[in-house]
Amino acid sequence: MARVAVIGAGTMGHALALVFALGGHRVRLTDSNPATLARAQGLMETALATLVAGGEAPADWTSGHLAQAVTRHESLAEAVDGAELIVEAIIEVPEAKRALYEQLDKLAPAEAIFASNTSHLDVFPLIPAARQRKAMIAHWYTPPYLVDLVDVIPGPECEAGVVEGVSDMLRAMGKQPIGLKKFVPGYVANRIQAAIGLEVQALLDEGVASAEEIDAAIIHGLALRLPILGFYAKADFTGLALMQAVKRNNSYAPPEPTPNSPVLDRLVAEGRTGVLAGAGYYDWPGDPAALFEARDKKLIALKQAMREIGTMAGMERKL
């Protein structure tokens, strides 16, 4: 059992606190905004109840159990006192992260590991020199209590064994750490998602298909095969000669990246910013919390089905 401090109690932070608590660790959670910190307990309890109901968390985990496993602290010094692993999950603003790391350098134990959840920033230049030997990135995906992927990247001066130790901790919690040799913005999954996003936005802006039709193509085409095959195994089943011929035909040109999207900009201007606003590309009437709960229940069912189904990984050496 490790002593974990999670800095930032927002969308990712409170969920990460729950993940580490369920993994058997003692967690201290803090946030510079008292209102955000106050909301965290209710958000964790809601997510926990969904996990328990779906069989993804122990049935004996109650709100009382959670309150003991995760304590909330308004003081940063109190939150990091005695911490072995410090998870940074604050806003993606370089100066905010730099200021936090300067504080942590003064307050945190000398041997504490700093693990940033940054989505796209190279945080290593923001971390004081004295902390570089224990600095790494551990980037999670939302909701982290259901999505198992974690990108792990050592800092340029990180000691051997730090990332491996954290990766072992993650595996023991049922997570899937993916080690990158160096930092690249977006890591692997987000870079692939960014390429998909660029294409589908262009298809929508150019009137090729509606948002519903594009989503249907993804759900009923790509998504059916990707969970069991990924990309390269799928290519093996399709045949590499076909893949080679498609490349030679050179019939596809990716969209030119642009800073604007007419459809996206119009939706935002209209206040259609997503589920929390009640509308985005789709209309989402009703309680947003109920919608997130419904999403989580479907993800639980999908995870459980995938455990039963399995993937093709490893079968190339077994058949």
Q: Enter the tokens of residue 89.
A: 């999950």
- DSSP track, 11-49: TTHHHHHHHHHHTT-EEEEE-SSHHHHHHHHHHHHHHHH
Distance between CA atoms of 292 and 142, rounded to whole angstroms? Answer: 11
Distance between CA atoms of 305 and 3, rounded to whole angstroms? Answer: 33
Write the pLDDT tens digit of every residue in 211-231.
Answer: 999 999 999 999 999 999 999
CB 122 within 8 A of CB 185: yes
**Higher confidence at residue 311 or residue 280?**
280
Distance between CA atoms of 142 and 1, rounded to whole angstroms? Answer: 24
Peptide bond into 285 cis (omega under 30): no
Write the pLDDT tens digit of every residue in 76-109.
Answer: 999 999 999 999 999 999 999 999 999 999 999 9
Residue 170: half-sphere exposure toward Cβ, Cα within 13 Å: 26
Q: Is the pLDDT of residue 317 over 70?
A: no
Distance between CA atoms of 53 and 57, rounded to whole angstroms? Answer: 8
Mean of per-residue pLDDT scores for the chain: 94
How many Å is the maximal CA-CA distance in the chain? Answer: 62
**Higher confidence at residue 51 or residue 251?**
51
Q: Which of 154, 124, 156 is nearest to 138 (CA)?
A: 154
Mean predicted confidence (pLDDT) in 249-263: 90
Q: Is the pLDDT of residue 316 over 70?
A: no
Q: Which of 99, 73, 68, 37 is nearest to 14 (CA)?
A: 37
Q: Which of 310, 291, 16 is nearest to 146 (CA)?
A: 16
Distance between CA atoms of 29 and 42, rounded to whole angstroms? Answer: 14
Considering the entire predicted model, what is its pTM? 0.87
Q: Enter the tokens of residue 300.
A: 């639980």
CB 47 within 8 A of CB 39: no
